[in-house]
């Protein structure tokens, strides 16, 4: 079973030994860490982030609920698509996705802060990965 790390760019001590793959839009600011690319299916859309930021100033709880709902919907749609692809090809989901053992999927929020990696972890586990969430 491939082990995938979920961590913050701000805490490289939590990275796994493999590549670092962004799960954020890197247009707004590049991480100082060398990044092997961005995995778009796990990256919240720019529209979702902008809507969240606008709503957060008015009602943080509603903004959070909206973000969680929309991001989980995005993950579930991707999961269903890749599950179908795996069934059609006779492969495991973990074989189809481009992750290698020890890779880190990174976003900005530190481990002790609220972050969307906590929403991604169970989906990765459902896909057959061992997940280290930091």
> What is the residue range of 81's domain?
3-133
β-bridge mates for residue 21, sequence order: 105
112 falls in which pLDDT band (50, 70, 90)? Answer: confident
Classify 38 as helix, strand or coil.
Answer: strand
From the list 122, 20, 26, 35, the residue with the least C-alpha distance to 71 is 122
114 falls in which pLDDT band (50, 70, 90)? Answer: confident
126 falls in which pLDDT band (50, 70, 90)? Answer: very high
> What sign does the CA torsion over 73, 124, 45, 67 have?
positive
Percent of the chain with pLDDT over 90: 77
Domain count, the chain: 1
Average pLDDT (36-44) is 92
CA distance 129 to 44: 21
Contact 6, 92 (CB under 8 A): no
pLDDT at 28 over 80: no
């Amino acid at each position: 079973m491939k082990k995938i790390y979920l961590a913050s760019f701000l805490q490289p001590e939590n990275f796994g030994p493999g590549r670092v793959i962004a799960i954020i839009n890197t247009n707004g600011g590049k991480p100082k860490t060398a990044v092997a690319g961005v995995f778009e299916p796990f990256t919240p859309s720019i529209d979702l982030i902008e809507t969240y930021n606008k709503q957060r100033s008015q009602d943080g709880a509603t903004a959070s609920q909206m973000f969680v709902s929309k991001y989980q919907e995005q993950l579930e749609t991707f999961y269903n698509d890749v599950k179908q692809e795996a069934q059609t090809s006779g492969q495991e989901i973990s074989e189809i996705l481009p992750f290698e053992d020890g890779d880190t999927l990174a976003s900005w929020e530190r481990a002790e802060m609220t972050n969307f990696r906590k929403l991604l972890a169970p989906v990765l586990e459902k896909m057959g990965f061992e997940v280290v969430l930091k």
